[in-house]
Structures are given as C-alpha cells and as structure tokens.
Homo-oligomer: A and B are copies of this chain.
Amino acid sequence: MRVVVVLAHPNRSSLNHAIADRAITSLHQNGHDVIFHDLYAENFDPILPANEMMSGDFVDPQIRNYGDEIANADGIVVVHPIWWGGMPAILKGWIDRVFRPGCVYAFEEVEGGIGVPVGMLKARKIAIFNTENTPLEMSEEMYGDPLDSIWKKNVFGVCGGRDVFRRVFHGVIMSEDLERKAWLAEVEDHINEFFPAAGMSQAA
C-alpha cells in the first residue's frame, strides 16, 4: 500500500511529531510505502486565493501534486492537535486548496440542477490521530466533538473515504512520560490493525 501521512504541528518535539514518527515506522515495518508531509516543515501556504477558488482545475503545480498524491493513495493518516475545536489553519488550508472537485470528488447532477458530491478518493482506509489539552470529561461536557463530524462527514464522507478511524488523546499538556509511551504504543497497534503487512492481511 502507498500511504500518505500528513502532520500539522509547529513544535518538532511535540507529541504530534512522535505520533507521526511512530505511525511511519509502523507503516514501513509492514512493508508499505509512505509519503510524508510535515506541513509546517514544508512551509505550506494555506490561503486559497480567488483565482484557484474560481478555477475548475488546479492552478499551482505544487498543489496539483498534493492532490494527485492524495487521490491515488491507498491509505491516509492525519495527525494534528485540536485548536478551538478544529484543525490548525495550515491543515485547514491544505484541505481548502488540495481537496478540489475533479480530484478528490466530483459533482453529479441530480434533479433540479443540484450537484451531489461523489467521492473520488482511491483510499478507503483513513486514520486520524488528534491531541487535545483539555481532559476528556471536561471536553465532552463543555464542547462535545464537532471535529469528528467534520472529518467523517464534511471531508472524507464527501470524498469517499468510507472507513475512517479516529483517536483523540486528551489531557496532553498534563500527561507524563509513561502515559505518552502508552499512547505511542497504541498508535502502533492501530496502524498494525488498520494497515497490516500484506501477508498478515491475506492470512486474516
């Protein structure tokens, strides 16, 4: 499998970087090819300009490359912290610019001239790992989890990624070393289950 891993966190010593590293190591161990995008390290420009928004095609060849990669991936892994209930701006802009009609979804015209989006992603399996400083109970009580709906319905629901796994690690700012190690082991387990080695997959 060819798996695209996307990371959005400004701090290289963050838990998010450790999660992405562990996911990539596990994918490699299972024999998969990995394309890794650390959006901060790549200085990704997240601002969708007017000419791109109005165009029916990609305008910037670099953005087209991101689009071709994601459209043709067999699997996708996204790693990011939850800020204000959503994604960091750099990741939101990656969606805004890369997830374009004609690449990851198309409009199918139905009655009344209304266009219904039809997913074009080749990837069926998508894993999302999130971190949040707020402890789980407080988070559930105060905010709920609107981002879950956004990833599963608004983004991957539209693009055809049917099997979306998501895990949120809570209370990160107060977490201790032992807890973080357990979380990283959990990431490895999820990756092994979701993107097993070819032999393992056939044996199952």
| B-binding residues in A (CB < 8 A) | 10-12, 40, 46-50, 53-54, 83-90, 92-93, 95-96, 99, 113-114, 116, 135, 138, 142-144, 146-147, 149-150, 153-155, 157, 174
Residue in B88, B144, B153 whose CB lies within 8 Å of A143? B153
CB <8 Å contact, A84 and B99: yes
Alpha-carbon distance between A144 and B54 when the two chains are bound, in angstroms? 26
CB <8 Å contact, A10 and B86: no
Q: For A48, A83, A87, A92, which residue has the most chain B Cβ atoms within 10 angstroms?
A: A92
Residue in B11, B86, B157 whose CB lies within 8 Å of A92? B86
Residue in B54, B113, B135, B146 whose CB lies within 8 Å of A149? B146
19 intermolecular pairs with C-beta atoms under 8 Å apart: A10-B48, A10-B50, A10-B53, A11-B54, A46-B46, A46-B93, A84-B92, A84-B95, A84-B96, A84-B155, A85-B155, A87-B92, A88-B92, A88-B96, A89-B90, A90-B93, A114-B135, A143-B153, A146-B150
CB <8 Å contact, A11 and B150: no
Residue in B93, B113, B146 whose CB lies within 8 Å of A147? B146
Which B residues are CB-close (under 8 A) to A90?
Answer: 46-47, 89, 93
Which B residues are CB-close (under 8 A) to A95?
Answer: 83-84
Residue in B89, B92, B93, B144 whose CB lies within 8 Å of A153? B144
Q: For A86, A90, A114, which residue has the most chain B Cβ atoms within 10 angstroms?
A: A86
